[in-house]
Amino acid sequence: MLTRKKVQTTIFLIIGILILINFISDRIFFRLDFTADQRYSLSNATKTILKNLDEPVTVTAYFSENLPPDVERVRNDFRDMLVEYTNASDGNLVYEFVNPNESQELEIKAQQSGISPIMINVREKDQVKQQKAYLGAVIQMGNKKEVIPFIQPGAAMEYALSTSIKKISLKTKPKIGLLQGNGEPKLSEMQQLNKALSVLYNIQPVKFNDTLGVPGNIKTLMIIAPKDTINPNYFKYLDEFVKRGGRLLIAINRVKGDFQTAKGDAVSTGLADWLKNYGVNVEQNFVVDASCTNVMVRQQEGMFIMNTPVKFPYIPVITKFADHPITKGLESVMMPFVSSIKIEPKDSTEKIYPLALSSKKSGIENPPVYFNISKRWGPTDFNLSELPVAVAVEGKLKNNVNIKMVVFGDGDFVINGEGQKAQRLQKDNISLMANAVDWLSDDTGLVELRTKGVTSRPIDPSLEAGTKTLLKYLNFLLPILLIIFYGIYRSQKRKKIREKLKNTHYV
């Protein structure tokens, strides 16, 4: 029998349990992430950055509301990510969402902060109209500020946010050396790479002379596409740099191609011979690949002169990558006049990993070569498979110093050029080189986030139209049918129980 005292006790117990659960959940936060790309899980790199914060960080997210579903998902994903950041930072990160469309004052404030609006198409009452939308964020720590002007759907949100937080929390940026004086391109000729690296590093030109080697404040030295022969006496500076734990990134041209003369020749700098001491042999050849880019060729058709795209196997498109932080998430990298790399480890303490390889239909040609645009390439030209064109070296030297090195068989794939000859490179070209620098220089592991984005998985476009329609309606109707069948099953089961109770005779 229920008494008033029992009811009061039960109510107080329920209230006490709810308070206890709320108290525990406020301090212990977790959720399960079953997504294939782990979009709702923070990386160890992000957790390390957040735990090392000395001052509070404020994130002001300027996001419009009432957006189309595919754009609204960006807002929801960013909010979920900020919840994770707040919990991982032990309260050192706070955030707020502002809708700039609410007033002209908020719009002006967003634009003054560096958040520019974009125009998106919105369908209303069978009409398409354009709407101004804001999708950006401002990250502040004290007087320092970083801006993410536009968060693109499917982009690597965690990398953008964690990099911004790390940039404003860094006391000093690590210095990266760029070797000059041997015909290497200047930093101004690699605008995209400079922009990608300047977020976390200061890039400093380094020149060898008879008395000066690599400065002591340089952690990683980049040697990109030297053209001239390097003084043999200078290689002792590279040995000294490696022996003190310095990291090396080398992108070397063993061959060069000239479209004006339609000829390919060898390049000798002495750097390839030095690399053999560390088990890396960049061979003096041209990799030709059936997976390649097109070049435009002027051809006359009757009275007209037309530009026709023609496949050019001397500029391979690399799509085969190893499972490594440097190459994670990459899709394709274009490497003009690249050479193959032979791996020849000097001892068991050294490990050399192929990072990027040519396709299964590839081959090599030794210089000098003459480019024949009208040549018909056949199976005999592509009689080799998966030639390494980039490698990573790890190991320990005799003085117990760790060695870390990345070598590319091409130095031109990150060079934009200057003036009217400057060209824009595809994103993965820059990501590959920037990832390599991060892997060598940054011990937090941010390199794994650069290409982490939300993966879209649409229906396979190769399927027939009827199959696509079937899958679409099955995906829509199956959950409903399962609920209906379960309801019918449960109703029948309860009906049988009632019938059984009716037919039961009690004494």
**What tens digit of pLDDT does each residue of 225-281 get?**
999 999 999 999 999 999 998 999 999 999 999 988 999 999 999 999 999 999 999
> Which pLDDT score is estimated for 181?
93
The pLDDT of residue 394 is above 60: yes
Point out the least confidently predicted range of 337-341, 346-350, 361-365, 455-459: 455-459
Q: What was the pLDDT predicted at 454?
A: 46
Q: In Å, how far are 236, 258, 408 from 274, measured between CA atoms?
A: 10, 26, 14
- For 414-432, how does the pLDDT look when each residue is reduced to its tens digit (9 = 90+)? 999 988 888 999 999 999 9
Judged by average pLDDT, the poorest of 85-99, 182-196, 470-484 is 470-484
What stretch of H or E contains 106?
Answer: helix 104-112
Q: Who has greater pLDDT, 258 or 151?
A: 258
Q: Would the pLDDT of 15 be above 50?
A: yes
Cβ contacts of residue 459 below 8 Å, gap of 6+? 468, 471, 472
Residue 33: pLDDT above 60? no
Q: Which residue has the higher pLDDT, 296 or 114?
A: 114
Q: Which residue has the higher pLDDT, 394 or 501?
A: 394
Q: Are strands 255-258 and 286-289 parallel, antiparallel or unpaired?
A: unpaired
pLDDT at position 447 over 70: no
Residue 352's pLDDT is what?
A: 93
Note whether 243 and 400 are within 8 A (CB): no
Percent of the chain scoring above 70 in pLDDT: 87
The tokens for 33 are 């992430």
pLDDT digits (tens, 9 = 90+) for 77-93: 888 889 889 988 888 99
Task: Identify which has the larger pLDDT, 6 or 108.
Answer: 108
Judge whether residue 440 has pLDDT over 80. yes
State which amino acid sits at residue 270. G
Structural contact between residues 118 and 135, judged by C-beta atoms closer than 8 angstroms: yes
pLDDT of residue 451: 57
What integer is the mean pLDDT of 4-14? Answer: 76
pLDDT for the residue numbered 416: 95
- The two three-digit tokens of residue 62, written as one number: 């300027």
pLDDT of residue 58: 94
CB within 8 Å of 164: residues ≥ 6 apart: 139, 146, 147, 148
DSSP secondary structure letters along 72-110:
HHHHHHHHHHHHHHHHHTTT-EEEEEE-GGG-HHHHHHH
Which residues partner with 407 through β-bridges?
Answer: 250, 391
Q: What band does 412 get if pLDDT is binned at 50, 70 and 90?
A: very high
H or E segment and range at residue 351: strand 350-357
Rounded Cα distance, 89 and 82, in Å: 10
Of 331, 347, 384, 341, which is closest to residue 251 (Cα–Cα)? 341
Residue 26 has pLDDT above 80, yes or no: no
Q: What is the mean pLDDT of residues 24-32?
A: 58
Average pLDDT, the chain: 85
User: What predicted TM-score, i.e. pTM, was given to this entire model?
Assistant: 0.73
Q: Are 238 and 278 spatial neighbours (Cβ–Cβ below 8 Å)?
A: no
Indicate whether 155 pLDDT > 90. Answer: no
Summarize the confidence of residues 101-126 as an average pLDDT: 84
